[in-house]
Amino acid sequence: MANSIYTKGLLLAGITLFAGKATAQKKADYPIQPVAFTHVKLNDLFWEPKIRVNAEVSIPYTLEQCKKTGRINNFLKAAGKMPADSYTEFTFDDTDLYKVIEGASYSLQVKNNPALARYLDTLIAIIGAAQEADGYLYTFRTMKAAKPHEWIGSKRWVKEEDLSHELYNSGHLFEAAVAHYQATGKKTFLNIAIKNADLLVKTFGYGKEERFPGHQIVETGLTKMYRVTGKKEYLDLAKFFLDVRGPGKQYSSEYSQSHKKVTDQHEAVGHAVRAAYMYTAMADVAALTGNQQYLSAIDDIWHDVVDKKLYITGGIGATGNGEAFGDAYDLPNMSAYAETCAAIANVYWNNRMFLLHGDSKYIDVLERTLYNGLLSGVSLSGDRFFYPNPLASLGQHQRSAWFGCACCISNMTRFLPSMPGYIYAQKDNHLYVNLFVGDTASIKLTAGNISLIQQTNYPWEGSDVITVNTAIKTPVAIHVRIPGWTKNEAVPGDLYGELSADKKPVKISLNGQPVEYVMEKGYAVINRAWKKGDKLEVLFPMEVQRVIANEKVKADIHRFALERGPMVYCLEGPDNKDSTVQNIVVSKDAAVQVAYKPDLLKGVTVLQMEGASTKRQIGSDVLVRSTQQVTAIPYYAWANRGPGEMEVWIPYNDSAARPKPAPTVASRSKVTASITNVRMYRALNDQYQPQDSRDASASYLHWWPKKGTTEWVQYTFDSTQTVSESEVYWYDDAPWGGCRLPVSYIVYYKKGNDWVPVENTSAYTISKDAYNKVQFKPVITSALKLELKLPDEYASGIHEWIVK
C-alpha cells in the first residue's frame, strides 16, 4: 500500500545513509513534495487524541492479536522453531504483522518508546529466521506443512496471479522495512527486504517469470525501496509488474484489473483496494519515469470514480461481490461495501494525484475520505473495527474485535500515525496548506527555513490562524486550500450537489487586515516576504449544507445528506425517538440547530432539527404520524454505542422512508439456528422487504460455506400462539455467489418436548424473488422450526421468515 512512510522517504530530499552512500540522484519525481509527518507536531483536539489512541491502544492490541491468532507462529514454524501442524486462515496473514510493525515504526518517529522498539527487534529477528537462503519469505510455503494451504500452488509463484499473494506479502514487507529503517536507522529489517527484493529482480522480468501480482502492492513497495537504496532495478521491476499486467494470462479479469493493459484502462473496475493501490503505483512510477501514458490512464480513471462511483463519505467499492466498484451511479447504502482498506487506498491515490497536478480537488476528495469513510473504520476506543462502512443499517452492522481477514485493522494502525504528513506540501518556494489541523511544523524551502503554527478547532469551527515564523524576511508563496464544500461543491463533478444556492465567502486576513491573494487551482495564494510573527487568518463558513445526489443514483432519490465543514452526518438510533431512524422524514427547508456536545462520543458537534416519523399499527394500513426532534451525529462516530439503526441519506419525501413496522409474532420471537453467528439472526424478523433474492441491501441469514447438509432455524414465541401459515423469502445470490435455493424444507411445531411436522394444507413451494407460503392446520405452540436440506454444491440462506 502506498502510504505516508513514502512521505518520510521523499522528505529526506535524496539523502539516506544506506550502505554509507548517498541515495541515487533522482532524475524525476513528483513536482510537489509532501512535508513529512515527522516535521509536523500535532496539538489539536481532534486528530492528536485519535493518533494517541492508535499508539496506546490499537498498535499494542493488534500486536497481541497477531500473537494470539498464530500470525507470529507462522514465522516460527517457517523457521523450524515450531512444528508446522497448523497455520492461520489466509496466505496473506504475514502482512498483518508487517503492517503493524510499519505503524509502530511511524509511532516511534513521533514519540520514543524503547520497550516497543525492543519488541520490534524481537519480531524482526523472528521474521528474518523464516527467510530462505535466497531471500524467499513466505511462511505458508516455507513451513512445509503436511497438508499445505490450497492457495499456495505446487511451486513458487504458480498461483501468484490468482491466490497465493506471495508478491502482495513482499510489498508489505518492503513498506514496513523502509518505515522501520527510517524510524530507527537500523538495517536489520531493511536487509531482509533487500534480500527479498533482489530475489524478485532475479526472478521476474521479460524472458523470466512474466507474471503480474494478483493483489497489487509490491509495486509501491518497490518504489519505496528504490528511493531508499537507489537501486534502479527496483523501479524497473515495479514498472514491469504494471506493464505485464493484462490479457492473455490465465487469470486475466476485471476483478484484478488485468482485463486490459494498464495504459488502456480508463474506468475503475474490479476489487476496489487492488485498483486504488495500482493507480497509486502508476502515479509513483509515472512520477519517477515520466511515463505520460500512465498519467493519461489514471486521470481518466479518477474522473470515472469521482463522477460516478464515489460515496458521499469518500468510500469506494459499492458491492461486496468481489469487494468491487459497481456500475456507474450504482451506490446502494445499506449494502455499501466501502471497505476501510479502500478508503485508505483512496487517500493514498488522491494524495499522489495532488503531488502530480497541484490541484486542490484531489485534496477535497482526500479530506472527505479522511474525516468520514476512513475514520469510521476504527472505534473511538481503538479496539473495535469496521471492514465495510455502510451508509445505512437496521442494526445488523456491528464493530468487531477482530476479523479472520484482518487487513483493515492492521491498515488503520499503520495509517493514523502518518496522517500529519498530509497537512503540508512544498515545491521550491511554494508552501501548500492542505489540511486544517492544530500543529507546529518546520519546513525547509529554497528561500530558507520557515515554521508554521496552526491554531484551529477545525472541523467543529471554521477559524484557522496560521502564524509564520522566519529568522529573516523570506519570500514564500503560501497556498491555502479553499475546500470545495465552501463553494457548493460537495465533490468535484456533478455526482453530488448542494441545495443551498447562497454561500458566505471565505475570509482571509493578514495581521488583522484584508490581504490580496490570487486563486490558483483551488488555492488562495499569498505571495510575499514573510517575517516572524505574521498571522494569516482564514475563516471558513460552517453553515449546515444539504447535499443531493445525481438523479441517476437511484438509492438516494427523494433524500438529502447533511454536511457541515468536511463532516458528513448521519442519524443513529440512540439519539432519536424509539431508537428508530429509517422512518424519519425531514423537510428540505427545516431549520437546523448546531450544538457541540463535549460529553457525547468523546466530543462532537451535533445537528438538530424538526422532523416527522411514521409507524404502522397492528391490524390496520393507516400510518401513525408524529413530529419529533431529529438529531444527527458525525458519520465517523456511529456504532460506538452498540448495534442499532443508522441512515446517512435522510428522506424528505414520505415515499422514501420506511415506516416502523407493527410488531408481529415473528418480530417478537427469539431466533436460534444451526449456525451460531447471532448477528445474522435479526435478519429473519427485521421485517425488511427484500427487492429480490439477491438483495444484499439488508442482512440475511446464510449457512455458507456448508453444502449438502440439513440445517434449521427456530422461532421461540414470547407466549403461546395459534399459527397456521409460514412465509419464507429465500436468499439466492446466483450466478456468482455461494447460496442457492434449498432442495427442500419442512415446517415443524413444538408439541411438549417434541418437534412435530405441521399438517400442510397447501403445497411447499421453493422459488426465487417471492415469499414461499405454506398453509397448515392451526397449531397451538410455543415455537416453530424450519428444517431445510442444502443443495450438494451450495449453501442456502433466508431473507425473511413470516409467521401468521
**Contact of 325 with 318, CB cutoff 8 Å:** yes
DSSP line for 573-613: GGGSGGG--TTEE--TT--EEEEEETTSTTSEEEEEEEEEE
Cell numbers representing residue 109 in the block = 518517529
What is the pLDDT, as a whole number, of residue 736?
79
Q: Which CATH number fits domain 426-481+505-539: 2.60.420.10, 3.90.76.10, 1.10.10.10, 1.20.120.420?
A: 2.60.420.10
Which CATH number is associated with domain 670-803?
A: 2.60.120.260
What's this model's pTM, rounded to 2 decimal places? 0.92
Q: Which long-range contacts (CB under 8 A, 24 or more apart) does 424-429 make?
A: 424/34, 424/35, 424/40, 424/452, 425/32, 425/33, 425/34, 425/35, 425/354, 425/355, 426/32, 426/33, 426/34, 426/35, 427/31, 427/32, 427/33, 427/358, 429/475, 429/476, 429/477
Kindly give the pairing relationship between strand 710-731 and strand 424-427. unpaired
One-letter identity of residue 51: I
Q: What is the DSSP letter of 790?
A: P
* Among 503, 506, 534, CA closest to 519: 506
| E strand or H helix at 409 | helix 407-415
Those residues whose C-beta lies under 8 Å from the C-beta of residue 620, and which sit 6 or more positions away, are none
Cell numbers representing residue 727 in the block = 412465509
Neighbours of 89 (CB within 10 A): 13
| E strand or H helix at 634 | strand 620-634
Report d(CA 555, CA 333) in Å as an integer: 7
* Among 331, 312, 272, CA closest to 545: 312
141, 445, 452 from 40: Cα distances, Å: 42, 15, 9
Report d(CA 239, CA 219) in Å as an integer: 7
12, 88, 478, 479, 667 from 431: Cα distances, Å: 17, 47, 5, 6, 59
**Contact of 536 with 513, CB cutoff 8 Å:** no
| E strand or H helix at 121 | helix 114-129
Report d(CA 737, CA 730) in Å as an integer: 14
Report d(CA 149, CA 612) in Å as an integer: 55
Report d(CA 326, CA 622) in Å as an integer: 38
Cell numbers representing residue 673 in the block = 439456528
Those residues whose C-beta lies under 8 Å from the C-beta of residue 265, and which sit 6 or more positions away, are 257, 297, 301
Residues in a beta bridge with 714: 672, 785
| E strand or H helix at 444 | strand 439-445
Those residues whose C-beta lies under 8 Å from the C-beta of residue 772, and which sit 6 or more positions away, are 727, 728, 729, 730, 764, 765, 766
What is the pLDDT, as a whole number, of residue 676?
86
Question: Which regions of the chain are under pLDDT 70?
Answer: 1-27, 501
Q: Where are the domains of the chain?
A: 5-422, 426-481+505-539, 560-656, 670-803
Overall fold of domain 5-422: Glycosyltransferase (1.50.10)
**Contact of 58 with 31, CB cutoff 8 Å:** no
One-letter identity of residue 414: R
What is the pLDDT, as a whole number, of residue 27?
62
Report d(CA 169, CA 142) in Å as an integer: 14
Report d(CA 408, CA 399) in Å as an integer: 12
What is the pLDDT, as a whole number, of residue 499?
82
| E strand or H helix at 350 | helix 340-357
* Among 479, 531, 484, CA closest to 508: 479
**Contact of 414 with 99, CB cutoff 8 Å:** yes
Identify the residue whose cell numbers are 487551482.
Answer: 521
**Contact of 162 with 215, CB cutoff 8 Å:** no
| CA-based torsion, 243, 244, 249, 254: positive or negative | negative
| E strand or H helix at 116 | helix 114-129
Nearest 5°: phi and psi at 193?
Answer: -65, -40
Report d(CA 18, CA 471) in Å as an integer: 33
* Among 270, 141, 151, CA closest to 216: 270
